[in-house]
Amino acid sequence: EAGVAQSPRYKIIEKRQSVAFWCNPISGHATLYWYQQILGQGPKLLIQFQNNGVVDDSQLPKDRFSAERLKGVDSTLKIQPAKLEDSAVYLCASGSTKGGQGYEQYFGPGTRLTVT
Protein backbone atom coordinates (compact mmCIF):
# COMPACT_ATOMS: atom_id res chain seq x y z
CA GLU A 1 0.00 0.00 0.00
CA ALA A 2 1.44 3.37 -1.00
CA GLY A 3 1.89 5.87 1.80
CA VAL A 4 1.03 9.55 2.00
CA ALA A 5 2.90 11.44 -0.71
CA GLN A 6 4.03 15.05 -0.35
CA SER A 7 5.89 17.42 -2.62
CA PRO A 8 8.15 19.22 -2.75
CA ARG A 9 10.33 17.81 0.03
CA TYR A 10 12.24 21.06 0.45
CA LYS A 11 11.50 24.66 -0.44
CA ILE A 12 13.41 27.88 0.13
CA ILE A 13 11.69 31.19 -0.52
CA GLU A 14 12.11 34.82 0.45
CA LYS A 15 9.69 36.51 2.80
CA ARG A 16 6.59 37.93 1.13
CA GLN A 17 6.76 35.32 -1.62
CA SER A 18 4.08 32.65 -2.01
CA VAL A 19 4.46 28.87 -1.84
CA ALA A 20 2.24 25.84 -2.28
CA PHE A 21 2.53 22.30 -0.95
CA TRP A 22 0.81 19.24 -2.35
CA CYS A 23 -0.40 16.10 -0.59
CA ASN A 24 -1.83 12.85 -1.93
CA PRO A 25 -3.31 10.75 0.89
CA ILE A 26 -3.58 6.98 1.10
CA SER A 27 -6.21 5.71 -1.31
CA GLY A 28 -9.64 5.54 0.29
CA HIS A 29 -8.82 7.72 3.28
CA ALA A 30 -11.59 10.26 3.74
CA THR A 31 -9.87 12.37 6.37
CA LEU A 32 -6.86 14.55 5.56
CA TYR A 33 -4.87 16.75 7.93
CA TRP A 34 -2.23 19.43 7.52
CA TYR A 35 0.16 20.01 10.43
CA GLN A 36 2.90 22.58 10.97
CA GLN A 37 5.98 21.47 12.89
CA ILE A 38 8.42 24.15 14.03
CA LEU A 39 11.90 22.93 14.89
CA GLY A 40 12.04 21.39 18.35
CA GLN A 41 8.25 21.27 18.79
CA GLY A 42 5.54 18.71 18.20
CA PRO A 43 3.31 19.05 15.14
CA LYS A 44 0.39 21.50 15.36
CA LEU A 45 -2.81 20.92 13.41
CA LEU A 46 -3.60 23.60 10.83
CA ILE A 47 -6.65 22.15 9.10
CA GLN A 48 -8.66 18.94 8.88
CA PHE A 49 -10.75 17.81 5.90
CA GLN A 50 -13.41 15.16 5.73
CA ASN A 51 -13.71 14.29 2.05
CA ASN A 52 -13.78 17.77 0.44
CA GLY A 53 -15.27 19.59 3.43
CA VAL A 54 -13.41 21.43 6.19
CA VAL A 55 -13.96 19.94 9.66
CA ASP A 56 -11.59 22.15 11.68
CA ASP A 57 -9.52 25.13 10.56
CA SER A 58 -9.50 27.00 13.84
CA GLN A 59 -5.69 27.14 13.98
CA LEU A 60 -5.13 28.09 10.36
CA PRO A 61 -3.86 31.69 9.98
CA LYS A 62 -6.44 32.53 7.38
CA ASP A 63 -4.97 35.90 6.48
CA ARG A 64 -2.08 34.15 4.75
CA PHE A 65 -2.76 30.40 4.71
CA SER A 66 -5.32 28.61 2.56
CA ALA A 67 -6.00 24.97 1.82
CA GLU A 68 -8.28 23.07 -0.48
CA ARG A 69 -9.26 19.51 -1.25
CA LEU A 70 -11.53 20.03 -4.20
CA LYS A 71 -12.26 16.46 -5.27
CA GLY A 72 -11.90 14.88 -1.85
CA VAL A 73 -8.60 13.23 -2.72
CA ASP A 74 -5.39 15.25 -2.93
CA SER A 75 -4.93 18.59 -1.22
CA THR A 76 -2.95 21.81 -1.57
CA LEU A 77 -1.78 24.11 1.23
CA LYS A 78 -0.75 27.64 0.22
CA ILE A 79 1.01 30.45 2.05
CA GLN A 80 0.78 33.96 0.64
CA PRO A 81 2.71 36.03 1.61
CA ALA A 82 5.21 34.03 3.64
CA LYS A 83 6.79 35.32 6.82
CA LEU A 84 10.03 34.31 8.50
CA GLU A 85 8.08 32.54 11.27
CA ASP A 86 6.50 30.22 8.69
CA SER A 87 9.79 28.33 8.44
CA ALA A 88 8.80 24.82 9.50
CA VAL A 89 8.05 21.33 8.28
CA TYR A 90 4.55 20.97 6.87
CA LEU A 91 3.16 17.49 7.40
CA CYS A 92 0.19 15.92 5.71
CA ALA A 93 -1.62 12.98 7.27
CA SER A 94 -4.62 10.89 6.31
CA GLY A 95 -6.90 8.54 8.16
CA SER A 96 -9.81 6.21 7.61
CA THR A 97 -13.22 6.65 9.18
CA LYS A 98 -13.95 2.95 9.09
CA GLY A 99 -14.17 1.07 12.32
CA GLY A 100 -14.54 2.36 15.85
CA GLN A 101 -12.61 4.72 18.04
CA GLY A 102 -8.91 5.33 17.98
CA TYR A 103 -7.96 4.76 14.38
CA GLU A 104 -4.47 5.81 13.43
CA GLN A 105 -3.24 8.64 11.26
CA TYR A 106 -0.65 8.03 8.56
CA PHE A 107 1.85 10.82 7.98
CA GLY A 108 3.78 11.80 4.90
CA PRO A 109 7.49 12.72 5.00
CA GLY A 110 6.74 16.45 5.15
CA THR A 111 7.89 19.52 3.26
CA ARG A 112 10.64 21.54 4.89
CA LEU A 113 10.07 25.24 4.22
CA THR A 114 12.77 27.83 4.82
CA VAL A 115 11.78 31.50 4.56
CA THR A 116 14.72 33.91 4.27
Binding site for another protein (CB under 8 A): 4, 31, 33, 41-45, 48, 50, 55-56, 91, 93, 95, 97, 100-110
Nearer to another protein, 63 or 104 (CB): 104
End-to-end Cα spacing for the chain: 37
If the CB atoms of residues 90 and 115 are measured against another protein, the closer one turns out to be 90
Q: Of 8 and 80, which CB lies nearer to another protein in the complex structure?
A: 8
Question: C-beta of 25: minimal distance to another protein in Å?
Answer: 12
Give the H or E element holding residue 60: none
CB of 88 to another protein, least distance (A): 13
Query: Minimum distance from CB of 95 to another protein (Å)?
Result: 6
Minimum CB distance to another protein smaller for 78 or for 112: 112
SS3 of 14-59: the string is CCCCCEEEEEECCCCCCEEEEEEECCCCCCEEEEEEECCEEEECCC
Cβ pair 9, 109 in contact under 8 A: yes
